């Protein structure tokens, strides 16, 4: 068992703790958390672990080999750097850091010390995303022409993160992992409704190499939660509705055929509407897979699926989208 510590016991921390405990691969020896009440909860949930208000005390412990960092985004870089410098393997909650250059520094540090450095893009370990990856890699979809994501809900407003940094990491991570997308041009716009400095609605469009267009509709202002991603290829198309209990993935055997240019009326449309297939998606907890993979990477049994480089590419896309969003907001402000 790998002796491990957990930093941050907020929203995601309890899930990390539970999966570390159940994995049979890690022994959780310490938990660090600034808020007293949260720390008390951690104490009850992890009777064998020591609790810290100061994360650095936990990082200093020589008997700990791995650290899981689930604290606010701004703290990811200093805590991860401190941990790597002390020779600990590190799993960081997504997004990896606030800046691409911070990610690069961590990557270099981990490489120099031969330490595992991973980012917890949990979605990549869900059955649904694994299936999307399989459909795209196997050529079942044909040439992929678009990725369209509707990712909206009510809240969760956080003081240190806007809607882009809250929701887009999922889509950027999937775009990179599933489609290997290379953005050529990024556009973004949105609005700050509740807090005038914090966008709570954002629309992002990525024009990628090879003619792929990706669009995300991200909102904290939607009364109904929607998690719907459509991916269209020239052979098949797929819709992933993550909130559908029984049929998360629907594969459409549908396609488009160009009309002859002289046709006047589109009465008989040139598209093919075919069967729909919903493959069975195993209903396992993705985070359990993340934790097991982290152990495998530490023990040298696997290369990281979502290592530092993946985390860096996601942060780069976030930076580009943020810059485009800022420019659009400024332009609109100037006009009103």
Q: Is 138 in the site for its own copies (CB under 8 A)?
A: no
Q: Is 10 in the site for its own copies (CB under 8 A)?
A: yes
* Cα angle, residue 243 at apex, residues 239 and 244 outer, rounded to 5°: 70
Q: Which is nearer to its own copies, 63 or 262 (CB)?
A: 262
Q: Shortest Cβ distance from residue 167 to its own copies (Å)? A: 14
Q: Is 203 in the site for its own copies (CB under 8 A)?
A: yes
Residues in 273-302 at the binding interface with its own copies, rule: CB under 8 A: 273-280
Contact residue for its own copies among 193, 299, 326, 330 (CB under 8 A): 193
Distance CA 70, CA 88 (A): 15
* Cα angle, residue 167 at apex, residues 204 and 207 outer, rounded to 5°: 25
Q: Shortest Cβ distance from residue 282 to its own copies (Å)? A: 10
Q: Which is nearer to its own copies, 92 or 218 (CB)?
A: 218
Contact residue for its own copies among 271, 284, 299, 323 (CB under 8 A): 271
Q: Is 130 in the site for its own copies (CB under 8 A)?
A: no
Q: CA distances (Å), 212 to each of 11, 145, 225, 246, 257, in order?
A: 35, 5, 27, 29, 18
Residues in 52-91 at the binding interface with its own copies, rule: CB under 8 A: 72
Q: Is 190 in the site for its own copies (CB under 8 A)?
A: yes
Distance CA 318, CA 188 (A): 11
Say what angle helices 308-335 and 100-113 make with each other, to 10 degrees. Answer: 170
The three-state secondary structure class of 273 is coil
Contact residue for its own copies among 39, 250, 292, 296 (CB under 8 A): 250
Q: Is 237 in the site for its own copies (CB under 8 A)?
A: yes
Q: Shortest Cβ distance from residue 148 to its own copies (Å)? A: 7
Q: CA distances (Å), 122 to each of 46, 75, 92, 170, in order?
A: 22, 20, 11, 9
Contact residue for its own copies among 221, 288, 292, 302 (CB under 8 A): 221
Which residues have a Cβ under 8 Å from the Cβ of 244 and sit 6 or more positions away?
A: none
């Amino acid at each position: 068992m790998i002796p491990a510590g957990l930093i941050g016991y907020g929203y995601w921390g309890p899930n990390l703790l539970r999966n570390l405990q159940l994995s049979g691969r890690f022994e959780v020896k310490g938990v660090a958390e600034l808020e007293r009440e949260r720390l008390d909860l951690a104490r009850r949930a992890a009777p064998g672990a020591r609790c810290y208000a100061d994360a650095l005390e936990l990082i200093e412990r020589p008997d700990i080999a791995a650290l899981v960092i689930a604290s606010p985004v701004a703290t990811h870089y200093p805590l991860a750097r401190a941990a790597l410098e002390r020779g600990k393997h590190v799993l960081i909650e997504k997004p990896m850091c606030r800046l691409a250059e911070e990610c690069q520094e961590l990557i270099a540090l981990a490489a120099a010390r031969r330490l595992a450095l991973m980012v917890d893009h949990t979605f990549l370990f869900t059955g649904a995303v694994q299936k999307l990856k399989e459909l795209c890699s196997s050529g079942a979809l044909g040439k992929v022409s678009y990725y369209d994501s509707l990712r909206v809900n009510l809240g969760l407003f956080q003081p240190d993160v806007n809607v882009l940094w809250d929701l887009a990491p999922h889509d950027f991570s999937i775009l990179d992992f599933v489609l290997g997308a290379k953005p050529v041009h990024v556009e973004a716009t949105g609005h700050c409704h509740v807090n005038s400095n914090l966008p709570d609605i954002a629309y992002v469009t990525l024009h990628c190499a090879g003619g792929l267009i990706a669009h995300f509709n991200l909102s904290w202002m939607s009364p109904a939660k929607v998690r719907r991603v459509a991916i269209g290829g020239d052979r098949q198309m797929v819709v992933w509705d993550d909130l559908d209990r029984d049929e998360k993935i629907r594969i459409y055997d549908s396609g488009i055929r160009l009309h002859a240019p002289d046709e006047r009326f589109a009465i008989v449309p040139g598209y093919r509407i075919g069967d729909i297939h919903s493959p069975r998606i195993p209903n396992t907890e993705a985070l359990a897979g993340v934790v097991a993979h982290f152990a495998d990477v530490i023990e040298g049994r696997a290369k990281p699926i979502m290592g530092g480089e993946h985390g860096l590419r996601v942060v780069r896309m976030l930076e580009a989208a943020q810059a485009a969003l800022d420019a659009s907001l400024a332009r609109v402000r100037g006009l009103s």
